[in-house]
Homo-oligomer: A and B are copies of this chain.
Amino acid sequence: MSELRRDPITGRWNIINTDEPSGPKDFHLEPFTPSAAACPFCPGNERLTPAEIYALRPSVSAANGSDWSLRVIPNKFPALRIEGELGLRGLGLFDLSNGIGAHEVIIETPDHRRQMADLTLPELEQTLGVFRARSLDLRGDRRLKYTLIFKNFGRDAGASLEHSHSQLIALPIIPKRVMEELKGAARYAEFRGRCPYCDMLHQELEEDERLVAENKGFLAFCPFVSSFPFETWILPRAHHSDFAAITQEGLGDLARILKDVLLRLRHGLSDPPYNFILHTAPIEPQPREEYHWHIELTPKLTQVAGFEWGTGFYINPTPPELAAKVLREVAI
């Protein structure tokens, strides 16, 4: 089991395991499994995972059989669990609650050797469609306030299994980082009367220095204030706060630009470890009109060290203008 514990000074809620740690050193996932033989995400090994939540498979086939093309399962070592009450309470100066939430794994392909960048456009569109479907499904649970979808690719980016997968964690609290973006966007909108992400999109198009790729629906660029070398954002041209409101046409455009950027990162930087993070609005009755959903891709090339932990600022050795030029010039 886990607890959510709140720092009374910074307001940060951490998820803290309250069991004695057992087998795996942490409770993200199992240890990194490079060989396909024992991979719990490979077809034929379905018994090694909890029963599936969702899958794409021929309509005649039974759940948890091996003929799927995409599979969603609960994380075997979940940071949060769906069963139980939130039980919000105080303990001296701290606040805490039970570790309630959802922690799912989206296995994007049955093929152990193919990563997200290798998926065909229809397969990638299908995967993004499942991100949308799972996001919409979890809105039925009134305890949940935010759904985060992310991918850790490569051991140095935090992956513990090699087989291509993304993760979904639904939280009973709007995360600190998301609140910062929501409040920052609202403050900007109040002062300037516009969405800061829309302004950023126009400025990037106009300056034309940090663009990586674009298509009908999306722009990919290395942001002016990049925290990390080769950090790349994918921003929809149309202002919308909620990823899950994306149309089927939008999913097609997103699949195209995402594959393009992933291939540029792979070939421009020797297949680096990276994190993929989908930034979207919280689950709320009223939409956050001022917010603009987007994807942040950050290759893991440098160490976060004392300076970054102590300040919350980042030292980035690579000018984003140079990073974008390198990525633009990759032949794919």
A residues at B contact (CB < 8 Å): 5-21, 25-28, 79, 91-94, 146, 148, 150-152, 155-159, 167, 169, 171, 175-178, 180-181, 184-185, 188, 192, 196-197, 199-200, 203, 207, 223-227, 275-279, 296, 298, 302-307, 309-320, 322
Contacts and interface: CB of A to CB of B under 8 A. Distances in A.
Contact of A306 (B158, B197, B203, B309): B158
| Interface-centre pick from A20, A26, A91, A167 (highest chain B CB count, 10 A) | A26
A311 B171 contact: yes
A226 B226 CA distance: 28
Given A9-B184, A304-B158, A305-B157, A311 B16 contact: no
Contacts of A181: 9-10
A305 B275 CA distance: 7
A15 B313 contact: yes
B16 A167 contact: no
B303 A225 contact: no
Contacts of A25: 302, 317
B311 A6 contact: no
A263 to B, nearest CB: 20
B277 A224 contact: no
Contact of A11 (B12, B155, B184): B184
Nearest to A95: B225
A193 B153 CA distance: 47
8 closest cross-chain pairs (CB), A and B: A158-B305, A150-B306, A175-B311, A177-B312, A176-B312, A9-B184, A26-B317, A158-B303
Given A12-B312, A148-B311, A175-B311, 13 more contacts: A5-B225, A6-B225, A8-B188, A10-B180, A10-B181, A14-B313, A15-B314, A16-B226, A21-B318, A93-B200, A152-B305, A155-B303, A177-B310
A261 to B, nearest CB: 16
Contacts of A318: 17, 21
Nearest to A156: B303
A113 to B, nearest CB: 22
A310 B148 contact: yes
B200 A17 contact: no
A202 to B, nearest CB: 9
A294 to B, nearest CB: 11
Given A171-B311, A225-B94, A311-B178, A303 B17 contact: no
A226 to B, nearest CB: 7
Contacts of A28: 305, 315, 317
Contacts of A146: 311
30 contacts: A5-B224, A7-B225, A10-B184, A12-B225, A12-B227, A12-B312, A14-B226, A14-B227, A15-B315, A16-B316, A16-B319, A17-B319, A25-B317, A26-B317, A27-B315, A27-B317, A28-B305, A28-B317, A91-B224, A92-B199, A92-B207, A93-B188, A94-B203, A150-B305, A150-B309, A155-B303, A159-B305, A175-B312, A176-B312, A304-B304
